Amino acid sequence: MSEAIAKTEEIVKKGKALGADEVIARTTFGQYRQTRFSNNQIDITVAWNDYVTDVALSWRKRFVATQIRNFQNIDENMKRLFEIAKVSKENPTYGGVARGKLRYQKSKADEAVGGLENPAECVFEAIEAARREAGPETDAGGILLTRLEDVYLVSSEGPIGEDHRSAVELSIRASSQREASGHGVECSSTLKGFDPARAGRKAGEIARLAKNPEAGVEGRYDVVFDPLFAGSLLAMWGSMTSAYTVMVQLSIFVNKLGRKVASDIVTLRDVPASYSVGNRVFDDEGVPVKENVLIGNGVLKTYLHNTSTAKIYKTETTGNAGLVAPTPWSLEMDPGDMSRDEMFHDVRRGLYLTNTWYTRFQNYATGDFSTIPRDGIFLIEKGEVKRSWKDIRLSDNALKMLNNIAGISKDRQHVHWWVEADPPSLSPYILMKDVQMTSPHT
């Protein structure tokens, strides 16, 4: 048994000795490094080390949580936590945590990620790739993030395990002119195959095509979404499958289990696989994670659950705890049968949207929302990019959009950036019919 597991177990034992019904402790030793750059130069490189144990405890259906740093003041922290539990209020919907000796896939972090000797080289490789595509005047900015986490989980109810996670992400936005930009990302759980130049080339290529944009025109369009934009859409739809969001009506999927919610060609899964920057082997209760089909051929198959929400819905946990709210780990849309070129060919007059941000809802239950395309926005006519546009907004309905998906590409890309395409996903190009675009009135 590792020392970290032993100390984590000590916390659990303290909690039980105090009288807690259930105790879960999860220790994370995290090592994070991030280089931020803009104007083709490095602005800052930051390192943060975290030594933290998240502790959750239940007593007579009262659920309380705390964090213990670097195994300090364990007795004091646990006593305080238990005292809070004793004066807390019973939650009738609390359904306990997972029980039993559970087995996990063996996880292995790529230690080379933490040893990335010169992150600046990766950054400059991406910048140069962007400049080769979009020209020497190109101005690029972004981040390179490396993450190494050793996670040790012990539950009084049986689960005990280790998870060693690694991730490396590069996000680059390149501007060929003031209002002509492109964005590319490169995400991986290992350094093997990690290619910063690929993200730079993508950003540069879009930035080159985006030159001299004109103000966009309002209307309904068929739209081809780039995988980066699709990543934001998958995150939006996927997060709404959490049972918690359903219970508080932060979801378009309320009362829709087993019903058709999307076009027949849509299958959406949560797959915390080893390639993903969202990889893991157990959830926050110590339940082994697994692949879950959220939408299968257009039909809503399941909500995402922890033990408590599963009991409310009379089903099994899906391995997506979140102790309070279940959450997706890493989304995948199943590949379709089209190539990107075939999608463009199918569009007589439409748009190719490469990225978006600032997605906000009028009403989560009905799905009315808007989001603002950024970076390359292209008018397609007769299958070809005709013009670069700017200053338009996608103002539509999240449920209607799912039903209007008309094509999915064979190729997919692993994408994650900032808070806009989060959780990470394996996203295809998506062809969608009849999307409402609006523009500002001056």
Partner 1 sequence: MDKDIADFALEYSSSKEVEYAEVRAHREDRTELVMKNGALDAYVSMVDRGFCVRILAGGGIGFASTNKWTREEAKAIVDIAYKFARMAKRRDKITFAEEKGAKANWKVEEKEKAGDVAPETRIKTLMEIDKELTSQGVNVAARMFTFEVSLTERYFSNTEGSVISSYVPRIGAHGFITVIEDGKPEQAYKQFGYAGGWEALQEWKITEQMISEARVLQRVIKEARAVKPGRMDVVCGPNVAGIAAHESCGHPMEADRILGREMSQAGRSFIFPGGPYWLGTRIGSPVVTILDDPTVENSYGYYEYDDEGIRARPRYLYKNGVINEFLHNRETAARLGTRSNGASRAVDYDREAIVRMANTFVQPGDMTEEEILEDVKQGIYMRSFTEWNIDDKRFNQRYVGREAYWIENGELKHSVARPVIETTTQVFWTAVDAVSKRVEYSAATCGKGDPMQGVPVYTGGPMIRLRGVYMR
Report 280-339 residues binding partner 1 (CB under 8 A): 323-324
User: Is the Cβ of residue 332 or residue 420 nearer to partner 1 in the bound state?
Assistant: 420
Helices and strands, counts by H and E, the chain? 10, 18
DSSP three-state, residue 263: coil
363, 252 contact by CB (below 8 A): no
Residues 395-424 interacting with partner 1 (rule: CB under 8 A): 395, 418-419
Member of 3, 87, 106, 314 binding partner 1 (CB under 8 A): 87
222, 387 contact by CB (below 8 A): no
Member of 249, 264, 337, 382 binding partner 1 (CB under 8 A): 249
- From residue 25 to residue 64, the character string flagging contacts with partner 1 as x (rule: CB under 8 A) and all else as - is ---------x-x-xx-xxxxxxxxxxxx---------xxx
Q: How many CB atoms lie within 10 A of CB 90?
A: 11
303, 246 contact by CB (below 8 A): yes
Establish if 440 lies at the interface with partner 1 (CB under 8 A): yes
142, 18 contact by CB (below 8 A): no
Cα-Cα-Cα-Cα torsion 278, 280, 283, 287, nearest 10 degrees, comes to 140
**Could you tell me which stretch among 82-90, 258-266, 281-289, 328-336 binds partner 1 (CB under 8 A)?**
82-90
Establish if 1 lies at the interface with partner 1 (CB under 8 A): no
Establish if 118 lies at the interface with partner 1 (CB under 8 A): yes
Residues 175-194 interacting with partner 1 (rule: CB under 8 A): 175, 178-179, 183
Member of 69, 103, 349, 410 binding partner 1 (CB under 8 A): 69
Least CB distance from residue 236 to partner 1, whole Å? 14
**How many positions of this chain bind partner 1 (CB under 8 A)?**
83
Nearby residues of 194 by Cβ (< 8 Å), 6 or more positions away: 168, 170, 186, 188
* Alpha-carbon span 13 to 287, nearest angstrom: 20
Least CB distance from residue 51 to partner 1, whole Å? 6
Q: How many CB atoms lie within 10 A of CB 410?
A: 13
Establish if 212 lies at the interface with partner 1 (CB under 8 A): no
* Alpha-carbon span 135 to 270, nearest angstrom: 39
| HSE value, Cβ hemisphere, 13 Å, CA-based, for 141 | 7
Residues 123-162 interacting with partner 1 (rule: CB under 8 A): 139, 141-143
- Paired with 60 in beta bridges are none
User: Is the Cβ of residue 107 or residue 317 nearer to partner 1 in the bound state?
Assistant: 317
Residues 336-375 interacting with partner 1 (rule: CB under 8 A): 357-366, 368-372, 374
Q: Which of 20, 4, 88 is nearest to 12 (CA)?
A: 20
User: Is the Cβ of residue 90 or residue 316 nearer to partner 1 in the bound state?
Assistant: 90
Member of 112, 116, 250, 299 binding partner 1 (CB under 8 A): 250
